[in-house]
A and B are shown apart, each in its own frame.
Chain A
C-alpha cells in the first residue's frame, strides 16, 4: 500500500520529465545537430573549421567578461559588507534598492547610459561647463565594460550579501582577539567565510557578460563585437543557423570549462546561493 502510493507520487513528476526531454534536452541535441550539418542537412565540419575566424571575438568576449566580473567583485564585496553591518530594517531597505533597478528593462537602462556617455551627453556638457576638455567615452571598450558592470552588479551583491548576512560574527571577533589586524581579518576570515557567495556571484556575472549582445551594440557602437553579437546576427540577419549553432556550442563548452576551472580553485564550495 505504502509502496504503491510512493510509486504514484513518483509518477507525479512524469509530466515535467517529459517536458524536460522535449524542451531542455532536445534543443541541446539540435544545437549539436545543426553545428555539424550544412543547410541541406548533410554532415560537415566546415562550421567548426570556420570558427577560427572568430577567435579574436571569442578572446575579446572572455577578456571583457573577466574584467567586468573583477570590477563587479571589487565594488560588490565592500558594498555587501557595509550593508550586512546595518540594522535589520536598513539592510532590508538597501537590498531592496539594489534589486529595484533589475526590475526595469535592461534595454532602456543601457540606452539611458548612451545619453550620459555621448560626446555631447550629460557628463561631457558638465565637463565643458566647468572648463575641462570633453572626454570621448561612448563606443569604446570601456563603455561596454561599464554597461556590463552596471547591468550585472546586483547579481554580485545579492549572493555575497546573503552569505555575509548569515556570517557568525563571533568568528570575526575571535579572529580579532587572536591578534589579527584589519587586513588579516578580511583576508583570512571574512573572505574565506563568504567564498560560497563570491563564487556564485562570479558565475552570475561572468556568464551573462560573456554572452551579451545588446550592451556591446549600444555602448560599443559596433566596433567591439562580442561573441553574442556574432551569434545574434547568424540567427536574425544572415540566417546561417548552422554557423550560429556551432558558435553557441563553443560558447557553451567554453563557459563550462571556465566554471569547472573556477570551482577547482574555490575548493568545491561553489554551491548556488541565491
Chain B
C-alpha cells in the first residue's frame, strides 16, 4: 500500500511537471526546434536580454501588478472595516454577494463585461482608443478586490472588540484607535491579501486580453501574440527564468515562515 501510494504521488507530480521540464530543457536548445534537442546553447537567453519588447512587457506587467494590488489592498481593507460594522443586515449580505461576483463569474465574462463598459464610455466621450493602462488598472483592481476583502474580513471578526474600546476609553480618537489597535492585529491578513492580489495580477491573461489596447502590453498578452505564430525558445527561456525566481522566492518565504513559527516555542 505504501509503495503504491508513493508511485501514485510520483506519477501525479510527473504529470504536473512534464511540460515545465520540457520547456526548461528546450530553452537550452541549439536550434529553434521545440521538439528535437540539437545541442546545448545559451543563445535564447541572450536573445531574450536583447529583445526590448519582451523586457518592456515585463516592466509593464510589474508596474500594473504593483499599482493594482496596492490600490485594491487600500480600497479592500477600508471596505472590510466598513462592512464589518454593518453586522447582520440585508445591506451587508448584498455587498458580500456583489463582492463574490468577480470570483464566481467566468473570467471571460468579467473581461468582456468590462470591455463593453469601457467601449461604451469611450464612444460616449468620443475617445479614439479608450483601452490602455487606465482600463487595465481598473480591471485588475476590480478582480483583486474580492480576494483582499474576503481575507481581511474573517480576521477583523476575530479581533477583540474590547481592545479598541479600551483604547477609546483611554482617550484615543476613533482614528487613532484604528491605526494603533485594529490595524496591527489585521496586518497579517492585509499582507496575505496584498500578495494574493499581486500574484493574480501578475499572472492574469484572460481579463487583460479584453481590457488592454495595443499601446500597453503585459507579458501574458505578449506571450499570447507570440504563441499565435511558431513560438521560439526565447519564450521558454523567459518562462524558465520566471520559474526559477518564483521557486527561490517561495523557498525563502517558506523558510522565513518556518522560522517565525518556531520562535514562540523557544520563548
A contacts, CB < 8 Å to B: 5-6, 8-17, 19-20, 23-28, 30-31, 34, 75, 78-79, 82-83, 92, 94, 96-98, 100-113, 115-116, 118, 120-122, 125, 150, 153-154, 203, 207-208, 210-211, 213-214, 218, 228, 231-232, 235-236, 241, 244-245, 248, 251-252, 255, 259, 272
Q: CB-CB < 8 A to A120: which residues of B?
A: 35
Encode contact with A along B183-207: 1 for CB under 8 Å, 0 otherwise.
0000000000000000100010110
Tell me, rounded to whole Å, the shortest Cβ–Cβ distance linking A255 to chain B. Answer: 6
Q: Say whether A113 contacts B81, CB under 8 Å.
A: no
- Provide the bound-state CA to CA distance between A248 and B109, in Å: 6
Residues of chain B at the chain A interface (Cβ within 8 Å): 5, 8-9, 12-13, 15-20, 22-23, 26, 34-35, 75-76, 78-83, 85-86, 95, 98-99, 101-110, 112-117, 119-120, 138-139, 141-142, 145, 149-150, 174, 199, 203, 205-206, 209-210, 219-220, 223-224, 227, 231, 235-236, 239, 242-243, 246-247, 250, 254, 258
The answer to whether B18 and A116 have CB atoms under 8 Å apart is: yes
- Distance (whole angstroms) from the CB of A232 to the closest CB of chain B: 7
Indicate if the CB atoms of A252 and B13 lie closer than 8 Å. Answer: no
CA distance A208 to B112 in the complex (A): 15
Complex interface: chain B residues within 8 A of A14 (CB):
82
CB of B171, distance to nearest CB on chain A (Å): 13
Bound: A67/B19 CA distance, A: 22
| A97 in contact with B13 given A5-B174, A27-B117, A104-B239 (CB within 8 Å) | yes
Are the CB atoms of B116 and A30 closer together than 8 Å? yes
Q: Which residues of A contact B243 (CB under 8 A)?
A: 100, 103-104
Asked, given contacts A12-B81, A15-B78, whether A235 binds B231 with beta carbons under 8 Å apart, the answer is no
* Chain B residues within an 8 Å CB radius of A110: 19
Q: Say yes or no: A211 contacts B5, CB within 8 Å.
A: no
Is the beta-carbon distance between B120 and A20 smaller than 8 angstroms? no
